[in-house]
Amino acid sequence: MKQEGFALLVVLMFLGIMSALAVNMTTRFQTNLKRTEFQGEDLQHQWLFRLAEERALAILRQSLEDSPKLTSREQFWAQPQSLEIDERTRLTWQLYSGQDCYNLNALANVPTDSQKEEPYSVAVFRAILAQAGVEGLNADALIDAIADYIDKDNIRRRDGAEDDDYSDKPMRFVANQPLFTVSEIRSIKGMSATLYNKLLPWLCVQENTVLQINVSFLTPNKAPLVAALFLNKLSTDDARKVLLNAPEFGWSAPEQLLTATDRAYPHLKDAVNVAKGGLTSQSDYFVLISRISRDDKIFTRRSDLFYQRKSRELWVYSHQRVFNDE
């Protein structure tokens, strides 16, 4: 009886081990299967995003060659495009100008000597800050801190911040190079989450340090930015009124916006003359938003593009997956 009981115990232990192995193998198989499905889906998404990118670039390149002096939102490249992949999958994409916003790298022009007059491009950012409720010494400190972050030296401006000021922060060091994404300024001295969210709709980054905003893409929702271009001498409400009277696809030249503003508000002639320096009718930076709609899910990617006019080359320099996209 003892031998039979021992044999039964061995059998039960063996069955238990086999059951555990079977469960483990099943779990691993299911995990590997899900991983394979995910990788396959991700590869398909990459292929579709690349397809959208290739088609968008081809249209944009042709438009830039056909109309080298004007980049406007009535042109074909700026219209939404779509492609049915199958019954469950739809690919859509749209290009936007990347020059309907304030280029943060223009703050590299902040003088190191606080006694010097600040350039127009810096004054525009100061006007944007004022709209967000940041003025006086607080504005000085933030402007100087951003300038110190992106310049090449370690010389602190009067109200700025260099490496020593970040030694106890996660960032620890300033970049000493141009900003690559707007999100970098979240870690800069003087920036808060609340202020960042207020400023975000009006900000962008470009490789250069100039402020050139394409007048064709200034729609009524850009009224605060337009007011800042006039150094807040033109109120946001008045800027919105001017923009509401623009042609359907926006102005094709800066002079048209300036003339419209001058006629509506002749007492702002000085501000109108100053605003000339921040406007253009061309775009060299673009943003492509591509979306894959599959069943009840949406996958979105942002591509940042740059057009080199001298060589007529157009290339993508950044990809970002966009989450929580509506």
3-state secondary structure of 74: coil
What integer pLDDT is reported at residue 31 of this predicted model?
A: 64
Q: What is the pLDDT of residues 277-286, one digit of tens each?
A: 999 999 999 9
Q: 105, 212 in Cβ contact below 8 A?
A: no
Q: Which whole-number Å values give the CA distances from 17 to 6, 56, 184, 198, in the listed order?
A: 16, 58, 54, 60
Res. 311 pLDDT band, cuts 50 70 90: very high
Write down the domain spans for the chain. 3-98+284-322, 104-200
Q: What is the DSSP letter of 209?
A: S
Q: How many CA atoms lie within 13 A of 207 on its CB side?
A: 10
Q: Which of 1-10, 12-21, 208-217 has the lowest mean pLDDT?
A: 1-10
What integer pLDDT is reported at residue 164 of this predicted model?
A: 60
Q: How many angstroms separate the CA atoms of 109 and 120, rounded? A: 9
Structure tokens that stand for 138 in this block: 């607080």
Q: What is the pLDDT of residues 210-248, one digit of tens each?
A: 999 999 999 999 999 999 999 999 999 999 999 999 999
Q: What is the DSSP letter of 142?
A: H
Q: What is the pLDDT of residues 253-277, one digit of tens each?
A: 999 999 999 999 999 999 999 999 9
Q: What is the pLDDT of residues 53-97, one digit of tens each?
A: 999 999 999 999 999 999 999 999 999 999 999 989 999 999 999
How do 89-97 and 213-214 pair as beta strands? Answer: unpaired
Structure tokens that stand for 48 in this block: 């579709």
Angle at alpha carbon of residue 32, lines to 45 and 89, rounded to 5°:
25
Fold of 3-98+284-322: Pantoate--beta-alanine Ligase; Chain: A,domain 2 (3.30.1300)
Q: First and final CA of the chain: distance in angstroms?
A: 72
Name the class of domain 104-200: mainly alpha
Instruction: Count Cβ atoms below 10 Å from residue 301 Cβ, excluding itself.
Output: 22
Buried/exposed 86-98: b ≥16 CB within 10 Å, e otherwise: eeeebbbbbbbbb
Domains 3-98+284-322 and 104-200 share a fold: no
Q: What is the pLDDT of residues 132-190, one digit of tens each?
A: 999 999 999 999 999 988 987 776 777 666 656 565 555 555 667 899 999 999 989 89
- In three state form, how does the secondary structure of 225-293 look? HHHHHCCCCCCHHHHHHHHHCCCCCCCCCHHHHHHHHHHHCHHHHHHHHHHHHHEECCCCEEEEEEEEE
3-state secondary structure of 141: helix
The β-bridge partners of 305 are: 286, 316
What integer pLDDT is reported at residue 17 of this predicted model?
A: 77
CA proximity to 175, closest of 205, 203, 154, 206: 154
Q: How many angstroms separate the CA atoms of 179 and 261, rounded? A: 33
Structure tokens that stand for 74 in this block: 């009535």
